[in-house]
């Protein structure tokens, strides 16, 4: 089973014979004891620290189909090294584009992303409502706003409703979380601990979705809810909407309420708050655990992980675009 590797320490990654060697640096940039990473076990790298690497390494990683995602000091996603796209299908690209250009079809797909995202947010709130958090008010408000979704016929309208629902959803965070307050959503940079975690978690989910899309014939720049190609792989933003509540948010509630991440895991600056290295490590570990959690998939009859679920979502979208089967987004029922 291939694994994701997270590089937090600054260091050097190189090809050593037919495997990988990572040499971490200490604070004076002196090399420390190297670690060998068996290349066959690596699915991708997330690079948080500064990394020294050569083109021969990237050639090797490309050959082995290993992606590298980079994040800057502020935990913003900078970009990815993606191996050559071997899964190209002209038919899929045309179908994807045609669906975007058909105004009705575009809105229809966008509706589905929001519909599932809101459903999954509500599942989170229901979960905590059953566990003694008073969330009836938020649930009722979100449900009534959600009823407007089918009546929106343009993307900006839909985005507006989604924004209102999300605002309501975020007020629930302060009730769910025991020791931390979020107040409102702030980004670039996040202003408090909860916002720092949301930003960081969303970035991770976004990169994971990029990876899933890359493993299919879908083109990550053609999207439906978000405007295509605005600097980013916008289809990842679309698809990750569905998974952010059930993966990112659930992990945030867990690490904060179980006190796995505490005040000391954040760096406070004048107007920003970021996870420090230890905090990142704890969050990433909790996120990995969530990704690897499995459940029995209803139509496949096999156990699938949450990570794998993202790829299955891409398959369903692909089938809809090709006219094989109408797309139904993933909704959690537990």
Partner 1 sequence: MNINATYINIYNVCKRELWLHANQIRFEHTSDIVYDGKLIHEDSYPLRSSKYEEIEIDGIKVDYYDTKNKVIHEIKRSNKIEQAHEWQLKYYMYVFEQHGVTDVKGILEYPTLRKTQPVVLSDVDRDRIKEIIADIDKIISSEECPPLQKKGICKSCSYYEFCFTKEVEE
Residue 132 CB, shortest distance to partner 1, in Å, is: 25
Which among 74, 28, 25, 89 is positioned nearest to 52, based on CA atoms?
A: 25
- Cα 229 to chain centroid, rounded: 18
Is there a binding annotation on residue 162?
Answer: yes
Tell me how far, at minimum, the Cβ of 328 lies from partner 1, in Å: 4
The full DSSP string for 160-174 is HHHHHHHHHHHHHHH
- Tokens standing for 89? 């299908």
Return the structure tokens found at 178: 């025991």
Mark 110-149 with x for binding to partner 1 (rule: CB under 8 A) and - for no binding: ----------------------------------------
Report whether 196 contacts 275 (CB < 8 A): yes
Report d(CA 270, CA 273) in Å as an integer. Answer: 8
Which residues, numbered 280-309, are part of the site for partner 1 (CB under 8 A)?
Answer: 297-300
Applying CB under 8 A, among 96, 138, 217, 240 the residue interacting with partner 1 is 217
Mask of contacts with partner 1, 197-216, x by CB under 8 A? ------------------x-
Contact between 88 and partner 1 per CB under 8 A: yes
* CB contact set of 141 (below 8 Å; sequence gap of 6+): 168
User: 59 is written with which tokens?
Assistant: 């050639």
Cβ distance to partner 1 smaller for residue 279 or 329: 329
3-state secondary structure 32-64: CCCEEECHHHEEEEEECCCEECCHHHHHHHHHC
- Asked if 98 is part of the footprint of partner 1 (rule: CB under 8 A), the reply reads no
323 binds partner 1 (CB under 8 A): yes
Q: Is 3 in the site for partner 1 (CB under 8 A)?
A: no
* Contact residues: partner 1, CB under 8 A: 86-92, 215, 217, 297-300, 312, 315-316, 318-319, 322-325, 328-331, 333
Binding residues for Mn(2+): 162, 226, 241
Binding residues: 162, 226, 241
């Amino acid at each position: 089973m291939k694994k994701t590797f997270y590089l937090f320490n600054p260091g050097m990654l190189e090809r050593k014979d037919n495997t990988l060697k990572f040499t971490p640096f200490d604070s004076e940039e002196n090399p420390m004891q190297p670690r060998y990473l068996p290349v066959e076990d690596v699915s991708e790298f997330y690079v948080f620290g500064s990394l020294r690497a050569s083109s021969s390494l990237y050639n090797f990683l490309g050959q082995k189909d290993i992606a590298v995602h980079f994040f800057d000091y502020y935990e913003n996603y900078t970009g990815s090294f993606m191996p050559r796209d071997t899964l190209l299908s002209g038919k899929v690209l045309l179908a994807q584009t045609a669906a975007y250009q058909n105004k009705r079809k575009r809105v229809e797909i966008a509706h589905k992303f929001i519909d599932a995202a809101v459903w999954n947010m509500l599942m989170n709130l229901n979960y905590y409502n059953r566990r003694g958090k008073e969330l009836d008010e938020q649930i009722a408000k979100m449900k009534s706003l959600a009823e407007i979704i089918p009546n929106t016929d343009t993307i900006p309208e839909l985005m507006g409703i989604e924004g209102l629902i999300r605002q309501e959803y975020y007020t629930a965070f302060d009730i769910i979380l025991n020791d931390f307050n979020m107040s409102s959503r702030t980004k670039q940079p996040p202003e408090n601990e909860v916002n720092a975690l949301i930003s960081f978690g969303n970035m991770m989910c976004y990169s994971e979705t990029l990876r899933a899309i890359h493993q299919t014939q879908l083109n990550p720049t053609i999207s439906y809810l978000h405007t295509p190609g605005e600097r980013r792989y916008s289809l990842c933003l679309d698809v990750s909407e569905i998974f952010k509540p059930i993966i990112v948010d659930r992990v945030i509630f867990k690490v904060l309420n179980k006190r796995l991440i505490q005040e000391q895991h954040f760096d406070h600056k004048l107007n920003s708050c970021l996870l420090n290295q230890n905090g990142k490590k704890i969050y990433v570990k909790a996120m990995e655990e969530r990704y690897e959690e499995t459940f029995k998939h209803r139509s496949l009859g096999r156990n699938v992980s949450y990570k794998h679920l993202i790829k299955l979502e891409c398959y369903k979208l692909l089938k809809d675009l090709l006219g094989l089967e109408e797309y139904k987004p993933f909704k959690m029922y537990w």
